[in-house]
Chain A
């Protein structure tokens, strides 16, 4: 059967859609690039690092196609001011404990919408005279499908607690609302999206994400030398109990807990402790111990040195503090 010559879009309209896509994709690419340094979790860092380049290529393809449609190359344009507002909100979370919020914005809200929009566009782009645009959309659809699956996998890993799931839900509801108010990234009331059947995403496309999670969780147990494990437990218990005499027995001669560290340690009551980092520095060990309580937590970094069979603290500092308001 001959392919239809009837078209849905004019060249001018097609160019506008590409400028609209380019606007949100470019901003997302720059946000992901900037967030890598602000995100503590390795799995999320690697996810973002992988996708920045894909998005740059999408932007580039849209930008290069534009002059072929009688428009200026590499020009981005929001469909309306509400799209810009949506993107401002998407970029907002920059704090280290907001990885879930960052990922929800990109992987639960924007990318599924972009994927549906690209699919809707592809379904309507004429196969006789729009193959250059169709080829770009086909590549973007393939990439975005992988991105969404991978992002969801990382989100399930990072937002596994009820509290984190609730944060994700609230974040998604807010951004979904803003995107709907904007009428989607092309500002047309999401007509393309709503009238296009969306195939379910294949979970076997998320291999990379599973590997990122494996790499993040690779350390099964710290190789703690004999004797040091007991010392770490006793020292942490003394910190929790604020037992000055017990603490002083673990300190090497000439070592004292400084005023600033003492002030941080005494800022709240702690009930539990656990080792969160265990590093080597020559023959010595650097240990991070997290003290947790209902009012918050602190992270204590101690450097341990051995003298014969005895382990002693050669230096101590508080390197992290997370206190909840009373």
Chain B
């Protein structure tokens, strides 16, 4: 088997339309719309949920590649990645059903593949740093806010389902922290590169100021400080993330 695969090998049914994230954002801005769904209406919640669904799909595919691509990694690493595949497959199922619950369908909005590209890092340490700490950290922010919004609009189905997904994501961040440390033991340079990769992803997913510290109702993506602490991010890491969002350029 080819290990790893090129990122353009990602296979999709015809019903999905794939586009670059930048192009999607630019076309929406050109229509006088916000570049990313802001959770201010039922439609924007549906669009956000669709974005999460394709993100979960790519997370399942990425974790599957980690099981496949690193046969020389410690067995416990493979076990954690295999468990993550199962978790992500349930998340895909959950979000497909939530889309249905919200009156949407798979393929209703274009799919961007930034997440998948991050999951194609060649080094296992970089991959867990970028995916499990960077992207799953972002998932903690997004899902924590979605639980709040669901509670506010009185949608217990959305609230309960996302609450359980959030619990899984916290576990995945912890796995990422564990394997970043174990895989880079005695190799400071490898650790530096992996952390740098994660920081680039964090910066990218600040989405030009869309992710910020603030009230769930006031910002498009609010940083889930308490959840991040629970997932094992240090105070220093959380503070650094908040600082980078403050210097990120508005789209």
Interface residues of A (CB under 8 A from B): 29-42, 45-46, 48-50, 52-53, 55-56, 60, 63, 74, 91, 94, 96, 211-212, 215-216, 218-219, 276-284, 286, 288, 290, 299, 301, 303, 319-320
Contact = CB atoms under 8 A, between A and B. Distances in A.
B79 interface: yes
Given A53-B82, A94-B2, A281-B110, A37 B61 contact: yes
A96 B85 CA distance: 20
Given A34-B69, A49-B92, A277-B107, A282 B64 contact: no
B11 interface: yes
B108 interface: yes
Nearest to B105: A219
Contacts of B126: none
Contacts of A38: 5, 9, 11
Which of B5, B16, B68 has the most chain A CB atoms inside 10 A of its CB?
B68
B57 A30 contact: no
Contacts of A42: 13, 106
Interface in B14-48: 14-19, 24, 27-28, 31, 33
Contacts of B93: 46, 211-212, 215
Closest 3 CB pairs of A and B: A49-B89, A34-B68, A33-B67
A218 B60 CA distance: 20
B201 interface: no
Main secondary structure of the interface of B (DSSP, over half): helix
A301 B18 CA distance: 10
B9 A37 contact: yes
A279 B110 CA distance: 6
A232 B97 CA distance: 29
Contacts, number: 150
A207 to B, nearest CB: 13
B134 to A, nearest CB: 19
B17 A279 contact: yes
B42 to A, nearest CB: 14
B5 A37 contact: yes
Contacts of A63: 75
Given A36-B61, A38-B11, A74-B75, A53 B85 contact: yes
B78 interface: yes
A284 B14 contact: no
A39 B75 CA distance: 25
Contacts of A280: 108-109
B157 interface: no
Given A52-B85, A286-B17, 8 more contacts: A34-B68, A36-B61, A37-B65, A38-B9, A40-B11, A45-B92, A216-B13, A319-B18
Given A34-B65, A46-B92, A215-B96, A290 B14 contact: yes
Given A31-B1, A34-B1, A52-B64, A219 B85 contact: no
